[in-house]
Amino acid sequence: MDNQIQQQSCINLIAEAIFVCEFHDIVGNAIVYCYPEDELKKDFDQIQDFVIPKDELCGKLIITEFRQHYYVLGLPILLRNKEKEKIYSREKYIFNICIMVRKEQYLSRKFWYQEITRKLAFFFTSLEIETHFIYKNDKKIISEKIQNLYQSLNSEKECLLEYNEEQYVFIKYIDSIKPQGVEDNIIEIKDYLVPLPLFSNLLYIYIYNLFNQIISIASKALDGVLEQFDSELYKVFKEVNGEKCVKKISRELNKDLQKLKICLKNLYYHNMIKFVDIFRLNNHYQVTAKIHDFMQNQQLQQTCIRYILVNPERKIDPSEIIYLYLQFQKQKSVQDIVLENRLRFEKINLVQFVHFGIIHELIERVHLYILANREIDLFNEINIQNLINEEEYKTSKKPNHMKHNSNQNLISIKNAEFKDFVRKNAPLDQILVEFQISEELFRSIQDISNIQLIYR
């Protein structure tokens, strides 16, 4: 490594080096440009088969160990000639934008480095499609972009890469955006949690226009690349309304649950969403110790009032808001509290009142759990129909006895799954979401199944 990297490595550079590589028509795998220029070129043979891999691995994120203390991240791109436009002499072209980072730095921010690698691949691919600047080895553009990226990230922790008004990408290091209460930016997203947008609908329009500008250019040749980029974030963000849980969004978008969670993490880490629980009137909450800070924070009180008022022209005293939050106790449901304070709640949007309390940790959910004294069979011939596509059974030509056997098999499977959730001490919210049954239905079959519920 050159002196610049050696002197700065002790301060944990965001990127130790950034380089562009390609499969060259004559020399094969080669580095097009690297910044800072160091000894990486002579060691390139150690990683060349990983950063410029076989065709089937293009469009996939690849992380390679390098020189014992580093990782190299890249997402190789494969472009092909069009029928009427012969740009590449070998009919196809493979290139990659790679980031070299110290192991400890990468391990502390895995998610961020992976997402930024994808985003850079998206940007440089859209630019390459239009200008062919990497294939033509336009050193001026390449060096300008790579140097700007390296210097801005390591000095400012953010960078704006742009080519014209329609081709740009903004990158920000998430170390400066650490969600409250989350250690090392790690969050476990449960299937039954509800993502809540933190911005107005105007942001949807802005994001839609912004993404469409970029995607309209790149969509021509990004078949394997667009899968986990901004276009997907937009589709997911559009479904976030504070009502649908993660599992429901996954079903409606027909999107793999784990990929959806990656998108939601991205939105969460950039403070575009928070997670709340499914709102029901019979939910139980209890006030937390943070209510004392809220009592002293007049600015947060006014923010709360602006957020929860049904009519902004009506007035409400902060003391009333504090009083209502203090009513949340383990043994009381939301409905109980509303009935006891009808006049106060006339001015307030109840759902937003609860959500504000959860987001700012003024209240916390008291979950409902199943307490069973014996093995429980929740599903039977009647309630199993809630898990079966009725239209499929209406149009089925199978004999009745075959349908009955099919039902019995499904009942057996679902009861085994249900028992497993009970043994794992899963909250009722998780069970209802997993089996797609309403709480009303669940409560109606409690007595049959000898189930007791407890709040804790």
Percent of the chain surpassing pLDDT 90 = 39
Instruction: Establish whether the linkage from the previous residue to 76 is cis, with ω within 30° of 0.
Output: no
**H-run or E-run covering 455:** strand 452-455
Q: Is 188 exposed, middle or buried (0-12, 13-18, 19+ CB in 10 A)?
A: exposed
* Range from 56-65, 170-179, 433-442 carrying the lowest mean pLDDT: 170-179
Q: Indicate the length of the chain as a whole number.
A: 456
Over residues 59-72, the pLDDT tens digits come to 889 999 998 899 99
The 8-class DSSP code of residue 310 comes to: S
Over residues 363-398, the pLDDT tens digits come to 999 999 987 655 666 776 666 665 554 434 444 445
For residue 285, what are the β-bridge partners? 365
Selected residue with higher pLDDT from 118 and 64: 64
* Range from 103-107, 303-307, 414-418 carrying the lowest mean pLDDT: 414-418
**Residue 305, pLDDT above cutoff 50:** yes
User: Average pLDDT over the chain, rounded to whole?
Assistant: 79
Report the pLDDT averaged over residues 136-150.
92
**Residue 203, pLDDT above cutoff 90:** no
Distance CA 252, CA 274 (A): 20
Report the pLDDT averaged over residues 326-346.
95
Q: Which residue shows structure tokens 């949807």?
A: 204
* Range from 162-166, 202-206, 429-433 carrying the lowest mean pLDDT: 202-206
Sign of CA dihedral 356, 358, 362, 367: positive
Confidence at 173, pLDDT banded by 50, 70, 90: confident
Angle between helices 350-359 and 298-308 (to 10 degrees): 150
**What is the end-to-end Cα distance of the chain in Å, rounded?**
57
pLDDT of residue 387: 55
**Residue 164, pLDDT above cutoff 70:** no
Q: Which residue shows structure tokens 């409905």?
A: 335
Q: Are 236 and 280 in contact (CB under 8 A)?
A: no
Distance CA 236, CA 253 (A): 8
**Residue 449, pLDDT above cutoff 90:** no
Report the pLDDT averaged over residues 262-286.
86
**Residue 304, pLDDT above cutoff 80:** yes
Reference 45, options 61, 29, 22, 34; nearest CA is 29
Distance CA 48, CA 367 (A): 52
Sign of CA dihedral 39, 77, 155, 187: negative
3-state SS assignment for residue 132: coil
The 8-class DSSP code of residue 35 comes to: E
